Structure 1
Amino acid sequence: MSYLKDLPNKEGYFGEFGGAFLPPELEPHFAEIEQAYRRLMRSADFLNELRYIRKHYQGRPTPVYYAHNLSADVGAHLYFKREDLNHSGAHKLNHCMGEALLAKHMGKKKLIAETGAGQHGVALATAAAYFGMECEIHMGEIDIAKEAPNVTRMKLLGANVVPVGFGGCSLKEAVDSAFQSYLSQADEAIFAIGSVVGPHPFPQMVRNFQSVMGLEAREQYLEMTGELPDHVTACVGGGSNALGIFAGFIDDDDVQLHGVEPLGKGTELGQHSATMTFGKPGMIHGFKCLLLSDEEGNPAPVHSIASGLDYPGVGPEHSYLKTSGRVNYHAISDDETLDAFYKISRREGIIPALESAHAIAWAMKFGRENPGTTILANLSGRGNKDIDYVTEHFGHG
């Protein structure tokens, strides 16, 4: 029995979470995507092309690195899966190249997506350039201001960046805007969802494309140490980088898995994006998951110093893993994240994405409390996109 093969079920459910709740006009388009995905993932030609792209274009496999200075500081053994060294600077390209290759085989001409921190937008614009497709990226005005370097990169890569100025002007609204645009272009375009969220089959597709991280990391860690890590951790917003690395260890009962989400500025609604800690079952963007909601049951306003984590929902598979007890979820504050951001930069010579710094902050904290333990953290992206924002608001540490 294999976890990855058994979940989700045919209707796209992980336990009670998932599914596809779509406007009638989109149902045939999502059915077409699912049929094409299932057919192509059994095609040697498709899989060989994807492997070629990963090796010769993306630069995979990315290494696992022993963080010797931080390990000495905290008294535990910290290892990083270096997705910041993946082409375009984050794990996002793993599924973007897969989704774009799928779109190519379906005869689509355009890629549409949302982005928060801009890493998914950059990755999709990169994929569009590679395959010669048009690209349309929706991004909240708040995130455009915070992540200016990634906006510049998307435009240089040829993408049309659509500012989203309604509501909270952030990731949720960017998804709303991208969905609305896709409605009128579904015949010629594909909505390349940027995480393990959205209607079926996207949570499954994105997880499977991202599983390359975990499969690589398991083999690399075994080669380095002769055993498996005690703990594996990754940050969780929508949750793609976490499910990607968890995939390599999900069937290993002796390996503890930990998702780390943003506690932000505090525990009151609107001060954080800690969905797994405070959320309840609800609906958002065509699927059921744990959700931060207001008194009327609507998605609540959220906050995180990391633009890629400020989403009121979470992937349905994470919701299942939380309720089943297979994964432990923890919340890390903005202040703890910033402290880790500076420490990793100074002690290891690696400037991490603020998203990734959440996971490493938890690993450092847990390592101090459990000396001698081994922890593999997914360093899911580089911090080039964050340096202007961090230094302008918080200085150089």
Structure 2
Amino acid sequence: MSFDVNEAGFYGDFGGAYVPEILYANVETLKNEYKKILADPDFQTEFQDLLANYVGRPSPLYLAKRLSERYGCKIYLKREDLNHTGAHKINNAIGQILLARRMGKTRIIAETGAGQHGVATATVCALMGMECIVYMGKTDVERQNLNVRKMEMLGAKVVPVTSGNMTLKDACNEAIRDWCCHPADTFYVIGSTVGPHPYPDLVAQLQSVISKEIKWQTKEKEGRDYPDYLVACVGGGSNAAGTIYEYLDEPRTKIILAEAAGKGIDTGESAATIHLGTVGILHGAKTLLMQDADGQVQEPYSISAGLDYPGIGPMHANMSKKGRSEVLAVTDDEALTAAMELTRLEGIIPALESAHALAVFQQKKFKKDDVIVLCLSGRGDKDMETYIQLKIKN
């Protein structure tokens, strides 16, 4: 059973490239070029140098002793929150912008929800002297204002999107419209494992540095290069894809992903796409999405801006369908409890997205000798206003 993408851009029944005719040449060129460029030694030298000396990789694999004691197992945190810009998003942004430069593109656009992908893209554009436009839902602009200010300080133009419920889906829609209007000079840096082929595979490959490091770090700490479980949050799916990429065909490692249940999967206010979604086409790919009987996309809800998306990457849709991953639905309240728990037990304030992964321990029991690696995808600086507004107390 294969979990990789095939030549046509499909993961099992999911994937493909469903794009407007005006973008067909762009997507085809990228499909034909990305593997050759990623394999080029000069590209890899520059990419790896920036990951090491600009981002600060490898990110530590930290044994969370007090959290492990609380849950009666051995919990390691893959500290993507310690990367430059505060999340895993920088890995992908560097890789795609290096790729764009080699393809002769001069104008960079991106979408962002929680703002971390936007900040990462603006950061790399500043580093490389490239024009940057970031589309962000007005709702997210308000709840992630600190990241908006960072993007503007870095020289990016942040465009608030006022359609739909003004979150990540709507930002993606506007970015695609922009791309249709400027196909010649513009490269769309997609932040997750979504969109038309080859984007899901491109993002997964660029983020696979996470699981490559987990392999040798687990070997160093546990004497074997695989954990019993990998745990990550999943919205579009980039940090999850990076965490599991090297373990897709490793039967000794189980995969648990946490998606955002919002106020509950039965409340109508949720973003739990794998639990609630049906097959359809969203942002250029056939995948699972939240839609009504007429195929109209339903507005998702999550306290977490980065998980507030009505679809899921085709890689994750396929893995769930084939039983390779176990997907748990985590509510806002469960995520907030997990965030507070990590903060008080380990002195680490997590992003709300990462808190959904941490909430897995509230739902699932593990054995004492289980080794679990959880991707702490981002730090909580950007979410402090939300934490404060909710008056989280002792």
TM-score range relative to shorter protein = over 0.9
Q: 1:341 aligns with which of 339, 342, 346?
A: 339
Matches within 5 A, 1:129-144: 129-144=126-141
Partner of 1:261: 259
Amino acid in the other structure paired with 1:122 = V
| Contact 1:232/1:258 (<8 A) preserved | yes
| Contact 1:121/1:154 (<8 A) preserved | yes
Partner of 2:47: 50
Amino acid in the other structure paired with 2:154 = L
| Contact 2:62/2:78 (<8 A) preserved | yes
Q: CA deviation at 1:81?
A: 0.3
Matches within 5 A, 1:11-50: 11-50=8-47
Measured in 2, the distance between the counterparts of 1:126 and 1:186 equals 23
Q: 1:237 aligns with which of 228, 235, 238?
A: 235
Partner of 1:208: 205
Q: CA deviation at 1:293?
A: 0.7
Partner of 1:354: 352
Partner of 1:378: 375
Q: 1:272 aligns with which of 254, 270, 273?
A: 270
Measured in 2, the distance between the counterparts of 1:169 and 1:54 equals 33
Partner of 1:72: 69
Partner of 1:293: 291
Which is worse superposed, 182-191 or 233-242?
182-191
Q: CA deviation at 1:315?
A: 0.2
Q: 1:193 aligns with which of 170, 182, 190?
A: 190
Aligned-pair identity in percent equals: 43
Measured in 2, the distance between the counterparts of 1:266 and 1:360 equals 17
Partner of 1:161: 158
Partner of 2:219: 222
Partner of 2:319: 321
| Contact 1:92/1:194 (<8 A) preserved | yes
| Contact 1:363/1:377 (<8 A) preserved | no
Amino acid in the other structure paired with 1:232 = L
Measured in 1, the distance between the counterparts of 2:264 and 2:370 equals 29
Structure 1 runs, 4 residues or longer, greater than 6 Å off: none
TM-score, scaled to structure 2:
0.97
Measured in 1, the distance between the counterparts of 2:267 and 2:290 equals 8
Matched residue SS, 1:260: strand
Partner of 1:62: 59
2:117 maps to 1:120 = yes
Amino acid in the other structure paired with 2:262 = G
Matched residue SS, 2:247: coil
- Structure 1, residues 269-318: CA drift from partner, whole Å, max 9, x if none? 63111111121111111110011111211111111111000111000010
Q: CA deviation at 1:325?
A: 0.9
Q: CA deviation at 1:123?
A: 0.5
Q: 2:103 aligns with which of 94, 106, 130?
A: 106
TM-score, scaled to structure 1:
0.96
What RMSD, in angstroms, separates the aligned Cα atoms of the two structures?
1.4
Q: Which runs of 5+ in 1 are unaligned?
A: none
| Contact 1:269/1:301 (<8 A) preserved | no
Matched residue SS, 1:20: coil
| Contact 2:22/2:183 (<8 A) preserved | no
Matched residue SS, 1:9: coil
Measured in 2, the distance between the counterparts of 1:170 and 1:270 equals 17
Q: Which runs of 5+ in 2 are unaligned?
A: none
Q: CA deviation at 1:371?
A: 4.2
Matched residue SS, 1:41: helix
Q: CA deviation at 1:396?
A: 3.9
Question: How many aligned positions are there?
Answer: 393
